[in-house]
Structure 1
Amino acid sequence: MYDLLVVGAGPYGLSIASHAAAAGLNLRVFGRPMASWRDNMPRGMFLKSEPWASNLSDPAGRWRLEVYCAEHGMTARHAEPIPVEAFASYGLWFARHAVPEVDERMVTRVASVPGGFTVVTEDGEALHARTVALAVGVMPFVEVPQALRGLHPALVTHSSHHSDLDRFRGGDVTVIGGGQAALETAALLAEQGTRVRVLARADRLVWNDVPPPWERPLWQNIRSPHSGLGPGWRNWFYSERPGYFRHLPEQTRQRIAATALGPAGAWWVRDRVEGAVELLPGHQVTAARAVPGGVRLDMTSRNGGPRTLETEHVIAATGFRARCDRLGLLSEELRGTLAALPDGSPAVGREFESSHPGLFMAGLVTASGFGPAMRFVHGATFTASTLVRGVRRRLRKTPAGGTIPVPGAGKREWAPTPVRR
């Protein structure tokens, strides 16, 4: 029986695995490393987060993005976005150096059994573990507006369904949403010759400002400090103190999780959108139906006026909604034991343990508990160290309430590769 099985090999899963291995836990990691970054983002996209806020986490802090970039002849400078392809390659490099070998099979089922869990892989192998960490990323939580559901994928897709936009060359596409995914997708479509428009509910699009220089007077740093989620004390609190965020009243946490760092485009994509893409803010789709040659969208505007638009394809860049009922790999019985917050996401304790003992959560599903940082790579550092501490605490207890030896007390069987100078 394993001490820990990590389900998911994105930034959070790999970071958790690195910390768990360094702590001497007997673990396995499942999933295709950096899968969503490699398979679910179109070529040509850039990472919105600052390079210094986009590190995966190992206990010694050796395998940072800047180290990878230096080894590969790249730069990782403040206010210079990193290509998504480069970030995905960095994650693979991190996995090779800081994590035990990753089993790339997908997990199809996690069930509770006496003393722990049974995890079943896609080819039917069953493994047993005392604890499980779910780091499944965002793909189980794709959110498509109600009006668009039920239409054929040839007509409507989510922005995360595309690693390649070439199929839309010369066509007509409507992108729904006002955030970075919508605006950068629209820019890429326009740049390849697609007729594209962006339709957003908000009255106007929001654009992030160019970040302030890294080197600046002390008084400016005091007034508006840098943080992993952007400048300002509020962002600093969200990004650097998620453990304190958890102690805010539940209603406050829910409101912040739903509204903070809302839809906005990066400063470096603005010039690629304005003047090149038709922008329709203040519109909401009320109905959609297939018509010859594409989709007809019925909309209302902020002033209440109806409007109809026909397009060949709709891309819904409408984000993700983390809910317990979308954790389909959990057995129905296990899923039914999870306590949920009002927004439907799982309730987790101070060390990311769910209401089911031994089942830990990481990433987007914990944003309502630990704040907006959990929606970004930057949150992986706090999560990995805190969650592994929680796993070790759980492993001290047997199902009967006794104790077992704490993993890590003896010699480790695996150690991270020494850093190359």
Structure 2
Amino acid sequence: MEDLVVVGAGPYGLSVAAHAAAAGLDVRVLGRPMASWRDHMPDGMYLKSEPWSSNLSAPDGRYTLADYCATRGTTAEHGTPLPIRTFSEYGLWFARQAAPPVEEVTVTDVTPQGSGFRITTAQGEPLLARTVALAVGVMPFVNHPVALRELPPTHYSHSSDHRDLTRFAGQEVAVLGAGQAALETAALLAEAGARPCLVARRARLSWNTLPQPLERPLPRALRDPHSGLGTGWRSWAWSELPWAVRRLPAGVRERIAATELGPAGAWWLRDRFERRVPALMGHALHRAVPVGSRTRLGLTTAAGESVVLDVAHVIAATGFRPGLGRLGLLDAGLRTAVDTVGEAGTPALGPHFESSWPGLFFAGLLTAPSFGPSMRFVHGAGFTAGRLVAGVHKRLRAQGRPPRSGGGGGALRGQGAGRQKTYPV
């Protein structure tokens, strides 16, 4: 029986695994490394956050994004956008350097068994674990507007469905949303020869400003401090004080997670977008109907006027809505038994990211209503990993099973044994 099984191999899962292995836990990591970054973001996208705030977390501070870039003879510079592809390759490099070998299998079920858990995969025999950390990323929580859900699947998609946008060349495409994903998807569509139009309920778009220099006079730095989530004292608080956010009343925490650091475009994208993409601001989608191979959208302005938009395809860049009810790999009885917060039903978590079910831990987006908006970003992995692993240690001691030294996990037993993969960069 493993001390810990980490389900998910994105920035949070790999960071937790790195801390767990360094702490001597017998840990296994299941999932496709950096899957959402490699498989669900269009070619040509850039990292919105600054490189120095986009590190995965190892316990000694090693294996940073800058370290990886140095191995490639490049630099990760403040104020210079970094390609998503480079960040994805960094994550694969981190996995090889800092974490146990990742087992590329699909987890289909996590069920309580005795004082631990039974983890079933689509490949091989089940695993048994004393504790489980679910770091499943964002893909289980894709959000589609209700008005689109009755359309045939070929008429609409989510922004996370696309790696290659050239398929839309010459076509009219409506992009729904007002955040970075919507704005960058629309710009990339235009650059690929499509004819995009942005549709957003917001009256106006928000754009981040050019980042301030890292080295500034002390008075200016005190007025507007840098943080992993941007400049300013509010961003600094969400970035550096997730433990304090968790101590706020549940309703306050949920509101903070939902509204702070809201939709905004990166400063480097603004000119590319405004030169090529028309935008219908203050337009709410209320109806979508198929007309042959095309889609007709019924929109309503803030003044109550009706607008009809006829397009070849609709891309919903409408983000993700986390909730335990949408986490199909978690046993239905266990989903019901775990205490939740808010209308969406995210897990209520202790200070070490443990749920009300002993030994069941969460990391990433599902933890934002407990620890604040930093959990929506890579930067939050640094706060999460060490604390979660400390919680695993505490749980193992409570079970009377102190961790074995020299952990690191092995190949998946049974049918999938020996199928660990390496990932060239």
For 1:407, give the aligned amino acid.
Answer: P
Helix, strand or coil: the match of 2:137?
A: coil
The change in CA–CA distance for 1:152 and 1:413 in structure 2 (over 3 A counts) is: closer
Match runs of 1:203-242 below 5 Å: 203-242=203-242
- 1:348 equivalent to 2:349? Answer yes
Structure 1 counterpart of 2:197: 197
Match runs of 1:129-168 below 5 Å: 129-168=129-168
TM-score computed with the length of structure 2 as normaliser: 0.94
Helix, strand or coil: the match of 2:227?
A: coil
Q: Is the 8 A contact 2:27 2:407 kept in 1?
A: no
Query: Cα offset for 1:248?
Result: 1.4
- Counting matched residue pairs gives 408
Gaps of 5+ in 2: 410-425
Helix, strand or coil: the match of 2:47?
A: coil
Structure 1 counterpart of 2:312: 312
Distance 1:407 1:194 in 2: 55
Structure 2 counterpart of 1:114: 114
For 1:392, give the aligned amino acid.
Answer: H
Distance 1:36 1:364 in 2: 13
% identical aligned pairs: 59
Distance 2:159 2:323 in 1: 19
Structure 1 counterpart of 2:403: 407
The change in CA–CA distance for 1:140 and 1:411 in structure 2 (over 3 A counts) is: closer
Structure 2 counterpart of 1:383: 384
Structure 2 counterpart of 1:371: 372
Query: Cα offset for 1:123?
Result: 2.1
Match runs of 1:3-402 below 5 Å: 3-343=3-343, 344-398=345-399
Helix, strand or coil: the match of 2:341?
A: coil
Distance 1:3 1:412 in 2: 9
Stretch moving more, 145-154 or 360-369: 145-154
Query: Cα offset for 1:124?
Result: 4.6
What's the CA shift string for 1:32-51, capped at 9, x where partnerless?
10011000000000010100
Distance 1:294 1:190 in 2: 19
Distance 1:340 1:47 in 2: 32
For 2:364, give the aligned amino acid.
Answer: G
Structure 1 counterpart of 2:418: none
For 2:210, give the aligned amino acid.
Answer: V
What's the CA shift string for 1:273-293, capped at 9, x where partnerless?
112101111001001010023
Structure 1 counterpart of 2:417: none
Stretch moving more, 39-48 or 286-295: 286-295
The change in CA–CA distance for 1:413 and 1:332 in structure 2 (over 3 A counts) is: closer
Query: Cα offset for 1:371?
Result: 0.5
What's the CA shift string for 1:143-192, capped at 9, x where partnerless?
01100113222111000011111110111100000000000000000011
Structure 1 counterpart of 2:420: none
TM-score computed with the length of structure 1 as normaliser: 0.95
Distance 2:267 2:169 in 1: 26
Query: Cα offset for 1:412?
Result: 5.2
For 1:338, give the aligned amino acid.
Answer: V
Q: Is the 8 A contact 2:66 2:75 kept in 1?
A: yes
Distance 1:57 1:342 in 2: 29
For 2:142, give the aligned amino acid.
Answer: V
What's the CA shift string for 1:101-138, capped at 9, x where partnerless?
11001111000111100000112520000000000000
Distance 2:293 2:331 in 1: 41
For 1:16, give the aligned amino acid.
Answer: V
Distance 1:411 1:91 in 2: 23
The change in CA–CA distance for 1:294 and 1:18 in structure 2 (over 3 A counts) is: same
The change in CA–CA distance for 1:413 and 1:96 in structure 2 (over 3 A counts) is: closer
For 2:95, give the aligned amino acid.
Answer: A
Helix, strand or coil: the match of 1:396?
A: helix
Query: Cα offset for 1:74?
Result: 1.5
The change in CA–CA distance for 1:411 and 1:296 in structure 2 (over 3 A counts) is: closer
Structure 2 counterpart of 1:419: none
Distance 1:72 1:413 in 2: 27
Query: Cα offset for 1:268?
Result: 0.5
